[in-house]
Structure 1
Amino acid sequence: MNTRSMIFTLYGDYIRHYGSEIWIGSLIRLLKEFGHNEQSVRAAISRMSKQGWLMARKEGNKSHYFLTQRGIDRMDEAAKRIFKLNPDQWDGKWRMLIYSIPEDKRNIRDELRKELVWSGFGTISNSCWISPNDLKKEVHSLVEKYEIKPYIHFFLTEYEGPHQNHTLVTECWDIYGLNDRYGQFIADYSQKYVIIKNRISKGEISDAECFVERTKLVHEYRKFLFIDPGLPEELLPEKWLGAHAASLFSDFYKQLAEPASRFFEEVFQEGNELTNKNKEYDVFDHPLLADE
């Protein structure tokens, strides 16, 4: 598993609930559980800082890294989508974005495409992207971020044929391939969930092992953020497996949550004992655990 990607997972699933900041030594200790060495962690942190996701703060001879506002916004958006169990209802309208970005701004165009895919847009033709979801806020944020207002047009529209709305879905997204991916996730994790649930009930698994399993679970499931546009139920295939996968993920996550968080807290507090001695963190300030 890529070190940088694992760090994103740890910030999104743990560190953001503990002030969004961690000592580099604690991060190295946590990632050691997955076989990542100190050099790779420091290199990944440096890269993420240069990309604007993190900033550093010195406390004596300790370097602490915290999420920038850009990082916080991305983590919040990702968490909202990862822990969402049911699709939204559709208003029957499509959001269409068309751009014509000059060749001398090609790098911006390439970055914009990545952002649009992340947000859930699909391409219907060159430079024309559509989504059934209300992504006006995300579009305005991208226009401002990349300073591309002169090159963008954004529409709220309805599809008048000659085909059905489902035809647009299959043309813009590999929805059946995505369904197969969800099926594979279910096959991979259903049995594993039963085995680990049984081990937890018998006290046969350590907090550290639960931390590793929970992090791997989130790390694997978050990959769907890059391929699942989050379509409303009305536009999904009849035998859609995304809901089953979300339910399995939620149940498995809850089983691992408390022991995994205990291990994280132990490492986190050891590394930040002096800095954070007067701070309190709510480990259960979490979308899946709020009602428990």
Structure 2
Amino acid sequence: MAKLFNTRSMIFTLYGDYVSQYGNVIWIGSLIRLLEEFGHNEQSVRAAISRMNKQGWVKSQKNGNRSYYFLTERGKARMDEAAQRIYQIEAPSWDGQWRLLLYTIPEEKRHLRDELRQELVWSGFGLLSNSCWITPNPLEQQVKDLIKKYDIDAYVNFFHGTYEGTKENKDLVEQCWDLEAVNERYSQFIQAYSQKYIIDKSKIEKGEMNDGNCFVQRTLLVHQYRKFLFIDPSLPKELLPDNWLGDSAASLFTDYYQILKEPATRFFESVFDSGDINV
């Protein structure tokens, strides 16, 4: 079977949708077996989990001759944030406040600046002007965590307030985010998965789809939908265009996920081993 998607990325999906619901710990052998369903071999899984270990997402612990990997606090925080956004069915309402983050990180710390930019995009910030990022969402805690994580308190200023300029709030949105491109991606998702949902729903009702197939389809569904975390800033409904498809895509995702959930979980549990390790 040809390998489906990047191994490290698939491991993140499995931790987020399955392992995090079972104590965040999994035996490497279980992880290898699960990823075989997507064409990943033992060598690629071990290499990917090793990189995640070095990057601070997971840690390992031995139990006998078996190695178990569990999410670090950083990893759990990222999974919690992702889950909150993935399983959000409707756009949040807005308190009318903008949050502004400005930084002056020196050139010799450019690597910190680059990492901070990636984190801000992930969290849903938009670039208003050079080194000035904005969001309408209440991300105060995320900002505090980032400042602490990168030790950049001396270089960062953070404000919130109302926009008093001559433009409209939606004009700021157009300046900071390409929602038209995001909407097109949602349209493609709906087109690709509407028919699949109907077909799989019928198969499951007729008993024509086994647990392993459901596991694969649910994981791939989440993996594809998870990509919107990197491009959709999760703006409040007051700031979204009238033809926004994000809510429709979320409803389709939720309906499809629910029909796959139970059989997919059975398959996962048949392979899963946590070694009774508590972290």
TM-score after normalising by structure 1: 0.92
Distance 1:152 1:239 in 2: 36
Q: Verify: 1:110 aligned to 2:114, yes or no.
A: yes
Distance 2:175 2:84 in 1: 27
Aligned to 2:245: 241
Aligned to 1:197: 201
Q: Verify: 1:21 aligned to 2:25, yes or no.
A: yes
Of the three residues 51, 62, 85, the one matched with 1:58 is 62
Aligned to 1:98: 102
Runs of 4 or more off by more than 3 Å in structure 1? none
Aligned to 2:179: 175
Deviation at 1:161, TM superposition (A): 2.3
Aligned to 1:162: 166
Distance 2:255 2:110 in 1: 44
Distance 2:192 2:124 in 1: 25
Aligned to 2:230: 226
Deviation by residue 1:235-279 (Cα, 9 ceiling, x = unmatched): 0000110000000000000000000000000001xx45xx33x99
SS in 2 for 1:72: helix
Deviation at 1:88, TM superposition (A): 1.4
Distance 2:39 2:139 in 1: 39
Give the aligned CA root-mean-square deviation in angstroms. Answer: 1.1
Aligned to 1:153: 157
SS in 2 for 1:76: helix
Deviation by residue 1:70-117 (Cα, 9 ceiling, x = unmatched): 111110110000000111111111100000000010000000000000
Deviation by residue 1:193-246 (Cα, 9 ceiling, x = unmatched): 000000000000110000000000000000000011010000000011000000
Distance 2:160 2:124 in 1: 16
TM-score after normalising by structure 2: 0.97
Q: Verify: 1:76 aligned to 2:116, yes or no.
A: no
SS in 1 for 2:128: strand
Of the three residues 128, 134, 137, the one matched with 2:132 is 128
Of the three residues 139, 145, 150, the one matched with 2:143 is 139
SS in 1 for 2:70: strand
Aligned residues with identical type, % of pairs? 64
Letter matched to residue 131 of structure 2: S
Aligned length: 274
Deviation at 1:157, TM superposition (A): 1.9
Deviation at 1:48, TM superposition (A): 0.1
Letter matched to residue 135 of structure 1: L
Letter matched to residue 55 of structure 2: Q
